[in-house]
Structure 1
Amino acid sequence: MSGSVVLLHLAGAVALMLYATRMVRTGVERAYGDVLRHRLRATMKNPFMAVITGTALAIALQSSTAVTLLVGSFAGSGIVGGMAGQLAVRGAEIGSALVVKILSFNLTLLVPICLAAGTTVFLATERRSWRQFGRILVGIGLLVLSLEMIGQASEPLRDSKLLPVIVDYFSGDPITAYLLAALMTWLFHSSIAAVLLLVALAGRGLIPPELGIVMVLGVNLGSSVIAPLLTRASPPGVRVVPVGNLLMRGAGSLAVLTLFLSIEPPVAFLGSTVPDQIINAHIAFNVIILLAGIPLAALVYRASQAIVAWGTPAQPPEALETIEISALDESALDTPSLALANATREVVRVCETVEVMLTRIIELYEHADEADIKALAALDDRVDRKHAAIKIYLAKATIRQMTEDEALRCQELIGACVKLEQVGDIIVRNMLIHVQKKLAGHLQFTEEGWHELSSFHASVLANARLAFNVLISRDARTARQLVQEKDRLRDFEKEASHSHFLRLREGSAKSVETSSIHLDTIRDLKQINSLLASMVYPVLEEQGLLSDSRLKAL
């Protein structure tokens, strides 16, 4: 087999591994994301529990970077403290290393089981939670399969005459090997994928243990760079935790590399095989960084704050987020197709603002102050302004001669804009009042009650994104799925209300105190979902899929 074919097979196997890792992570985020976020918020006040929760979350998401970004956003919102956030990230790094350990075992039998079970679950139901569970199973099966493919693809490299020369070079130049591993990890955006690739190659005898450990340290450097780069345009509060992680893990990898190259300790104690030695070195490094990070947490936090403040202009010349450029070009009114395209662009911006409001409101139920409340109310003012401008613009456009399709599209955009304005009003005039009531009374939901609310909200938010997509794509299949979700949420509301009344019957003090807020919030979210679903009715009517009262059966 030629070298180019070997590299092609290896590239395909690595690509499958990256895709499978992302598939598992997105499945977990969509199915259990809100529950995981709630758990993380609830345990961040205890340093020990912050480490444990960060570890568990990284194992579930198969990504320490995802946890770092999540914790950084919490720190930026004031939900968690910066030092507690850094400890959670330390735990996440250990969780990421443990995932590599788990996947290093012989899991061949999982491939057919996970692929068959996951595909069956995904195709057998329309329930989002079950479909995402099926996605997770398929992702796990593909991940294990990709590891087998990497092993098989790299087998011919044993007989390569060039590879020993390359390995010898990197063994004699560990700094280059260290930086190459860091670059590889940054390109993968996954330390798990990078270490698994090293382990697979080491299992075929292609990488010696000393070089493998040097490259594992490089992987940790590359992984620590990803989150700061992804958050470089975020507010300063969000960037503190990723920068702190870079200081600890990135600088720590360089310090350990220096010690390793200076002392040249034996590596046999790390395991009986080269893959075990590489994996255990990866775990040991992150445990060392955790132990060192506990006494240094306050110092690293202050240093990361100083770095972020140094890199942030004290008084930017103009706040970019306040700039609003309208797409409603008056000169395009004489060409209805262009005018409708401009109006669509502006409605999409309204969709984006409403999505921000809908995303933010559930966070305020847990942590809010007057500044947060005013900021959300200001977004509703923006929606109102754009709503009025779009209506006036489209009214001017209708004066011109339009085709039947253009007239229908015009009415569709006006209807969508009206419904988006109503959604904004519900969030600000109803749900924001519930937030203020909860804040003033220092009330807390029961764990079951909060799980119901956050799950219901997650479904409505997912439906909002579907509705916004249909507004652009006009895809009948997605529109039909959204209307079917409306029926599912109706059943969900009944179950949630029934569970709430059962808790009231049992005399739960928290349920009694928050009863009206709980039930009113469910009602408001259901009303928002109905408005969003009605945005796609014109698409269904155009395709003949909507009767006078409900979807036609297929």
Structure 2
Amino acid sequence: MEAFKIIYTVLGGLGIFFYGMKNMSEGLQSVAGDVVKTAINTITKNRISAVIVGTLVTILVQSSSVTTVMVVGFVNAGLMNLTQAIGVILGANVGTTITGWIISIKIGKYGLLLIGLGIFPLLFGKTNKARQIGRILFSVGMIFFGLDIMSAAFKPLRTMPEFLDMISYFSAQNYSSYFACIIVGCILTVVIQSSSAMLGITMAMATSGVIEFHTAAALVLGENIGTTITALLASVGANVTAKRSARAHAIFNALGVLIVFSFFPIYVNFIDWVVPGEANLRNAAGEFENIAVHIATGHTIFNVTATIIFIPLLGILARVVTKITPDNGQKEQHHLVMLSDPSTMVAATALAQADLEMNKLKDIMGRLYALADELFLGDTKKSYSDLIIKAKDYESITDNIQKEVTIYTVKLMESPLSEKESIHARGILKEVDELESIADYIEKLVSYSERTPIKKMLKGEVREEFIKYYKEVKTFYEDTIKGASEAELDLSVVMRKSEQLRLTAESIRAKHLERISKGEFDALGALTYSDMIVALRKIRSHTQNVAHAYS
């Protein structure tokens, strides 16, 4: 009966801890979303800046798993190269050490106080920021309270003979016991899918006096290996570069643990020397009151030192993972892949990723327009059928991107977003839909050449009239897209220009009807030319809608 009580109490405490960690991460993401977005936008090929960004983002979101999965997603979308990705992942390892320091605070002391302080702004705050700050305070209180429950549940284990016999092998101070602890820490982290939760369990057991510092330190090393499974799972089905990024994370952590394992007793003694107070000193209640700070220090020393050592070796690590993960001669296809539920990502980062994916769509649009230019403005030697096939291929790509971005953004909008982020997300949905529609009409413009030869239909005054209108609509599109990207659109100017283009289309159609009445066009040619003007007018209309997307 005692064992059952311990199990359900530990599970309950772990559940409260998990809930607190999840809500704290989401609250921090909401409050610090703009900072995260700015940090990611500053990533360059400079490995130091990539490490700093990884550290900063992980501190803000309080989850190295979120950061590493995010990195795999960016690499898979072609938005980050391998060296940048490895740098950010190294930074994530440093950033995650902050979690250890947060939960190393004397856990039973502040939990209920923070829950009480956080619940009022969470429920009654008038602004989103006030509610999110309340949510953070409430969540940190839940973390401490959950750890306190687990710590109390573990205390009876100190005097339970069956447990002491079982754990005696892991408590011994020899390399086989250290190795066994590392393996257990790794496996449990893989099962729980959270190194933060395993760190919390380890600290709860240690502060309760159930395990000594050397056992806890070995478990933490195993947790550093186990946490890499999240990125490895995220890379399944991703492109080669994303797989290399995830494997670089695993190799980096595994090598670091292997090196520390080779002189583990010295490592433990060094931490004992650095941190005041003996780690295994019991107080009157039988608890190790100094051990939590020792564990947090060991976690920090391991990750910071490993990162500093590996920064100069990023190029070598990149070459190693490239060698063990060959591309087999296949061309890389970068695309947005739903590696995980985007609602678990930093909202600002997810939106930035969607924005960058939108840039790919705009690039395809540029290629579509180049085909139309070749058909209408140039003296192409290509057959109409070749141009049409290529245009249809590009249009199909825009359909896929529109579908992926829409699914991704809708899933993101299911999570709590600030007002600014909600407007941005809705703008993405509208813009991607409008751009896809524009792509449809450009493809139709090119495909009309299959119905009636362009050179036969566009000649003399008609050609001049069409080319002039075509160029005006294209310029309107390019100016609007550029202005929207740079947030420098003047809606009144856009509306005025759009109305002018609409009136021009009406004038062209009126002249066209006169020509038809005079017998200057055959029936099929008349219909084709009318459809081409309608397509340009529709492009004008959808371009105007793009301007309204973020207003």
Shorter chain as normaliser: what TM range? 0.5 to 0.7
- Aligned partners of 2:429, 2:55: CA distance in 1, in Å? 41
| Equivalent position of 1:95 in the other structure | 95
Counterparts of 1:372 and 1:235 in 2: how far apart (Å)? 24
In the other structure, the counterpart of 1:363 is 356
> 2:204 aligned to 178, 195, 200, which one?
200
User: In 2, are the aligned partners of 1:44 and 1:88 still within 8 Å (CA)?
Assistant: no
2:318 to 292, 301, 306: 301
Partner of 1:250: 254
**Alpha-carbon distance in 2 for matches of 1:148, 1:284:** 26
Deviations along 1:258-315, whole A, 9 cap, x unmatched? Answer: 33269985652143223332221111111121012112100111222233336x7949
1:282 is matched with 299
Contact preservation (8 Å) 1:270, 1:276: no
RCO comparison, higher one (Cα < 8 Å, 6+)? 2
CA distance in 2, matches of 1:379, 1:125: 45
User: 1:41 offset after TM fit, Å?
Assistant: 2.4
**Offset, 1:212:** 1.6
Asked if structure 2 preserves the Cα contact closer than 8 Å seen for 1:158 and 1:205, the reply is yes
Q: Between the two proteins, what is the percent identity of the paired residues?
A: 20
Q: Indicate how the Cα distance of structure 1 residues 166 and 426 shifts in structure 2: closer, same or farther if over 3 A, else same.
A: same
Partner of residue 115, structure 2? 115
Aligned residues of 1:434 and 1:521 also touching (Cα < 8 A) = no
68-77 vs 129-138, which moves further: 129-138
Q: Hey, what's the Cα distance between the residues in 2 that align with 1:373 and 1:176?
A: 58
Deviations 1:79-129 (A, max 9, x none): 333222212221211111122113211365643454334433333368655
Q: Which amino acid aligns with 1:363?
A: L
In the alignment, the residues of structure 1 paired with residue 319 and residue 46 of structure 2 have an alpha-carbon distance, to the nearest angstrom, of 20
User: Could you tell me how far 1:70 is from its partner in structure 2?
Assistant: 1.5
**TM-score (norm. length: structure 2):** 0.60
Distance, in Å, in 1 between the alignment partners of 2:190 and 2:475 is: 44
Distance apart, 1:144 and its partner CA: 1.4
**Pair 1:377–1:229, CA change in 2 (3 A):** same
Post-superposition offset of 1:136: 2.9
1: CA distance, partners of 2:239 / 2:183: 29
Q: CA deviation at 1:13?
A: 0.8
Measured after TM superposition, the shift of residue 365 of structure 1 is 6.5
3-state SS of 2:238 partner: coil
Instruction: Indicate the RMSD between aligned Cα atoms, in angstroms.
Output: 4.2
- Give, in whole Å, the separation in 2 of the partners of 1:383 and 1:281: 45
CA distance in structure 2 between the partners assigned to 1:153 and 1:243 by the alignment: 37
d(CA) in 1 for partners of 2:62 and 2:46? 23
- Paired position in structure 2 for 1:509: none
Tell me which residue corresponds to 1:455: none
Q: CA 1:149/1:182 → structure 2, altered by over 3 Å: closer, same or farther? A: same
Q: Is the 8 A contact 1:383 1:421 kept in 2?
A: no
2:118–2:136 contact (8 Å) kept in structure 1: yes
Counterpart CA distance in 2 for 1:358 and 1:379 is 21
Corresponding pairs, count: 383
The 1:523/1:128 distance shift into structure 2, 3 A limit, reads farther
Q: Give the 3-state SS of the residue equivalent to 1:525 in structure 2.
A: coil
Which residue, out of 186, 189, 196, partners 1:182? 186
The one of 434, 440, 449 aligned to 1:426: 434
Corresponding residue for residue 3 of structure 1: 3
Matched residue type, 2:225:
L
Match of 1:524 in 2: 549
Q: Distance in 2 between matches of 1:366 and 1:384?
A: 12
When Rg is computed on C-alpha atoms for both structures, the one with the higher figure is: 2
Pick closer, same or farther for the CA change 1:247–1:202 going to 2, 3 Å.
Answer: same
User: Take 2:294 and 2:52, find their aligned partners in 1: how far apart are those partners?
Assistant: 24
What does residue 66 of structure 2 align with? 66
How far is the alpha carbon of 1:239 from its aligned partner? 2.5
Give the distance between the partners of 1:284 and 1:145, measured in 2 at CA: 27
- Secondary structure in structure 2 of the residue aligned to 1:309: coil
| Equivalent residue in structure 1 for 2:263, among 255, 259, 264 | 259
The Cα shift of 1:42 comes to 1.5
Alpha-carbon distance in structure 2 between the residues aligned to 1:377 and 1:241: 31
Q: Secondary structure at the match of 1:378?
A: helix
CA distance in 2, matches of 1:291, 1:47: 11
Q: How much does 1:234 deviate?
A: 1.6
Structure 2: 5+ residue stretches without partners: 280-290, 336-349, 368-392, 404-427, 440-473, 490-543
- Structure 1 contact 13–146 (Cα < 8 Å) conserved: yes
Change (3 A) 1:360 1:201: closer
55-64 or 156-165, which deviates more? 156-165
- For 1:196 and 1:177, how far apart are their aligned partners in 2? 16
Whether the aligned pair in 1 keeps the contact of 2:55 and 2:92 (CA below 8 Å) is yes
1:151/1:201 contact within 8 Å kept: yes
TM-score by length of 1: 0.59
CA–CA distance in structure 1, aligned partners of residues 476 and 202 of structure 2: 52
Q: Aligned to 1:254, what secondary structure does the other structure show?
A: helix
What pairs with 1:371-450 in structure 2 (closer than 5 Å)?
A: 378=396, 380-381=398-399, 424-428=432-436
Separation (CA, whole Å) in 1 of partners of 2:362 and 2:546: 19
